[in-house]
């Protein structure tokens, strides 16, 4: 049997998770033990079971009531009702994966679940009764969670089955710095400065509702919020919000609160964060809202320079054609599409005209004139390259992940005067990364 190192480290990852992350030293021990078993030709499953047993993970295979599950339980079988299904995109071992998560309940209680296994073929819906086998329980954010890995089975129970789920106990209130908020949290307390307030009307199941939304900030970061009740929020006011919940979309988390929450003014002084975040962290989260990054321009990509936009829909024209509106009289525009490397990762950044002009020291009219004189629009791109390649920049915007990697449309982009030491460190990191590829 050929066992790759990835197989080993995947198994070790799962064992370590199941044992409630016992620390780096223990991990090393587990890893070498596991490798030793495999070297001796012990089948993977057997090696897992033995190690799990040796390092203290209880095993059980009888079907269990959810209330009796405990952190560290292995090989868990439960019959439960799906109370919610959500998905989230993550990068695992360099690959995009969809993680399924939500709550599961039976007549004894409820538990959150998370599945690395692809559940798409099951088309799970709220209310489905499922039979889960070979799952394991660990702790996540201080709470128990049922995990489905590659070896777990899940299937829908056919036919009607009644299952009354007791109401979950109210989540304990917890205060979070904004940077530590993740999607799916309940009973969240935050203290933050309101940076903007807008409002819009949305249609809900119970009719039209006004939602108040904007940005708020603390020392650790900035986050979007939506308030489903008029708390009279004002810009620059610091408020304490209790009983909020969070949601996540494309790696961007937002805070939501409504009339059941308590919102009070706070005397706390807040200097909003201007901290930059490593691109690696944005990558890990799958996106970021209002993120500041610092890095070096390593590429000026096709689509930079003078472009034409459709006067009706503002989309970029290709050879004078709009995808939707056909041949139109385009509006000239200027943009830079660049790749920024901060030593921890790369990000595709699109910089619009207003931010591009000061960066290249020329405005749209000047660029047009030069392109006409040279009979070649590429002179503008050459000029961009000369002005920006390998220059350190400070950039702000919303980063999100799609099929082409991480991308951001800049809300702000400035050249950065890095001190030499910092710059050298970044350059060295970058070289190391390149060698590693």
List the one residue from 235, 312, 369, 372 that touches Zn ion (CB under 5 A): 312
* Residue 112: alpha-carbon gap to chain centroid: 19
Q: Which two tokens stand for residue 1?
A: 């049997």
What does the chain come to in residues? 437
Subset of residues 100 to 159 that bind Zn ion, contact rule: CB under 5 A: none
Please, what is the minimum distance in Å from the beta carbon of residue 313 to Zn ion? Answer: 3
Q: Give the contact letters, 68-107, x = binds to Zn ion (CB under 5 A), - = no.
A: ----------------------------------------
Q: Give the contact letters, 325-364, x = binds to Zn ion (CB under 5 A), - = no.
A: x---------------------------------------
Candidates 71-79, 281-289, 305-313, 417-425; binding stretch for Zn ion (CB under 5 A): 305-313
Q: Which is nearer to Zn ion, 36 or 325 (CB)?
A: 325
Q: Which is nearer to Zn ion, 85 or 322 (CB)?
A: 322
Please, what is the minimum distance in Å from the beta carbon of residue 205 to Zn ion? Answer: 35
List the one residue from 310, 388, 393, 430 that touches Zn ion (CB under 5 A): 310
Query: 158 with 178: CB under 8 angstroms?
Result: no
Nearest to 387 by CA among 283, 329, 305: 305
Q: Which is nearer to Zn ion, 284 or 313 (CB)?
A: 313
Q: SS3 sequence, the chain?
A: CCCCHHHHHHHHHHHHHHCCCCCHHHHHHHHHHHHHHHHCCCCHHHHHHHHHHHCCCCECCCECCHHHCCCCCECEEEEEEECCCEEEEEEECCEEEEEEEEEEEECCEEEEEEECCCCHHHCCCCCCEEEEEEEEEEEECCEEEEEECCCCEEEECCCCCCCCCCCCCCCCCEECCHHHCCCCCCCEEEEEEECCCEEEEEEECCEEEEEEEEEEEECCEEEEEEECCCCCCCCCCEEEEEEEEEEEECCEEEEEECCCCEEEECCCCCCCCCCECCHHHHHHHCEEEEEEEEEEEEEECCCCEEEEECCCCCCECECCEECCCEECCCEEEEEEEEEEECCCCEEEEEECHHHHHHHHCCCHHHHHHHHHHHCCCHHHHHHHHHHHCCCEEEEEEEEEEECCEEEEEEEEEEECCCCHHHHHHHHHHHHHHHHHC
- Binding footprint of Zn ion, residue count (CB under 5 A): 6
Candidates 190-198, 224-232, 304-312, 424-432; binding stretch for Zn ion (CB under 5 A): 304-312
Q: Which is nearer to Zn ion, 171 or 313 (CB)?
A: 313
Q: Which is nearer to Zn ion, 321 or 411 (CB)?
A: 321
Residue 296 interacts with Zn ion (CB under 5 A): yes or no: no
Q: Which is nearer to Zn ion, 197 or 310 (CB)?
A: 310
Please, what is the minimum distance in Å from the beta carbon of residue 363 to Zn ion? Answer: 25
Please, what is the minimum distance in Å from the beta carbon of residue 322 to Zn ion? Answer: 3
Please, what is the minimum distance in Å from the beta carbon of residue 311 to Zn ion? Answer: 8
Please, what is the minimum distance in Å from the beta carbon of residue 328 to Zn ion? Answer: 6
Residue 132 burial (CB count, 10 A): 20
Please, what is the minimum distance in Å from the beta carbon of residue 333 to Zn ion? Answer: 13
Please, what is the minimum distance in Å from the beta carbon of residue 175 to Zn ion? Answer: 48
Residue of closest CB approach to Zn ion: 310
Q: Which is nearer to Zn ion, 323 or 414 (CB)?
A: 323
Q: Which is nearer to Zn ion, 97 or 323 (CB)?
A: 323
Q: Which is nearer to Zn ion, 280 or 331 (CB)?
A: 331
Please, what is the minimum distance in Å from the beta carbon of residue 326 to Zn ion? Answer: 8
Subset of residues 313 to 332 that bind Zn ion, contact rule: CB under 5 A: 313, 322, 324-325
Q: What is the binding site for Zn ion (CB under 5 A)?
A: 310, 312-313, 322, 324-325
């Amino acid at each position: 049997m050929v066992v790759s190192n990835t197989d080993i480290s995947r198994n070790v990852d799962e064992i370590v998770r199941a044992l409630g992350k016992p620390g780096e030293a223990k991990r090393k021990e587990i890893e070498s033990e596991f490798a030793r078993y495999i070297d001796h030709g012990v089948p993977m499953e057997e090696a897992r079971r033995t190690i799990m047993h040796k390092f203290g993970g209880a095993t059980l295979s009888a079907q269990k009531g959810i209330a009796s599950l405990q952190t560290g339980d292995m090989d868990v079988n439960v019959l439960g009702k799906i109370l919610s299904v959500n998905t989230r995109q993550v990068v695992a071992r360099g690959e995009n994966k969809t993680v399924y998560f939500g709550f599961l309940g039976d007549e004894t209680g409820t538990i959150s679940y998370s599945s690395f296994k692809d559940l798409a073929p099951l088309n799970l819906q709220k209310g489905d009764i499922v039979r889960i086998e070979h799952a394991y329980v660990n702790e996540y954010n201080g709470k128990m969670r049922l995990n489905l890995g590659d070896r777990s089975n899940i299937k829908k129970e056919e036919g009607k089955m009644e299952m009354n789920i007791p109401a979950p106990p109210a989540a304990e209130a917890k205060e979070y710095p904004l940077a530590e908020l993740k999607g799916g949290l309940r009973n969240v307390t935050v203290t933050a400065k309101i940076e903007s307030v807008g409002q819009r009307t949305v249609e809900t199941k119970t009719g039209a509702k006004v939602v108040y939304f904007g940005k708020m900030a603390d020392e650790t970061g900035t986050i979007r919020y939506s308030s489903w009740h008029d708390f009279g929020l004002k810009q620059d006011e610091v408020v304490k919000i209790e009983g909020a919940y969070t949601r996540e979309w494309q790696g961007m988390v937002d805070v939501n609160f409504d009339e059941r929450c308590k919102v009070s003014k706070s005397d706390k002084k807040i200097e909003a964060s201007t901290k930059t975040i490593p691109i690696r962290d944005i990558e890990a989260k799958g996106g970021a809202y209002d993120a500041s990054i610092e890095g070096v321009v390593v590429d000026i990509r096709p689509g930079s320079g003078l472009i034409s936009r459709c006067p009706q829909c503002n989309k970029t024209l290709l050879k004078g054609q709009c995808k939707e509106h056909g041949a139109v009289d385009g509006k000239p525009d200027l943009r830079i599409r660049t790749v920024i490397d901060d030593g921890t990762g790369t990000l595709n950044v699109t910089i619009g005209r207003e931010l591009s002009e000061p960066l290249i020291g020329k405005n749209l009219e000047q660029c047009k004139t030069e392109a006409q004189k040279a009979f070649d629009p590429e002179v503008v791109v050459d000029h961009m390259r000369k002005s920006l390649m390998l220059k350190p920049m400070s950039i702000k915007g919303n980063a999100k992940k799609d099929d082409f990697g991480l991308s951001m449309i800049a809300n702000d982009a400035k050249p950065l005067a890095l001190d030499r030491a910092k710059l050298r460190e970044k350059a060295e990191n970058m070289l190391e990364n390149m060698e590693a590829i």
